Amino acid sequence: MTIIKNVPFDLANTRVDKAASELFPDFSRTQIKKWILDGRILINGDLSKPKEYVQENDEIEINPIEEKKVSWEAQNINFDVHYEADDFIVINKSPGLVMHPGSGCYDGTLANGLIYRFPELASLPRSGIVHRLDKDTSGVLLIARNEKFRNYFINQMQTRSIKKEYIAVVVGSTLGSFSIEEPIGRDRFNRTKMAIRSDGKEAITRVKLNESIKNYSILDIAIETGRTHQIRVHLSAKKLPIIGDRVYDPGKSIGKGSNEKLIKIIRSFPRQALHARLLSFTCPTTEKELSFELPLPKDMQNLITDIKKHS
Residues with catalytic roles: 134
Cβ neighbours of 40 (radius 10 Å): 21
Q: Which residues contact 239 (CB under 8 A, 6 or more apart)?
A: 172
Q: Give buried/exposed letters for 110-120 (b at 16+ CB in 10 A, else e).
A: bbbbbbbebee
Q: Is the dihedral of CA 231, 234, 236, 240 positive or negative?
A: negative
Q: What is the DSSP letter of 297?
A: P
Edge-to-edge strands of the sheet including 59-62? 3-6, 59-62, 41-43
Cβ neighbours of 103 (radius 10 Å): 18
Contact in structure between 221 and 165 (CB atoms under 8 Å): yes
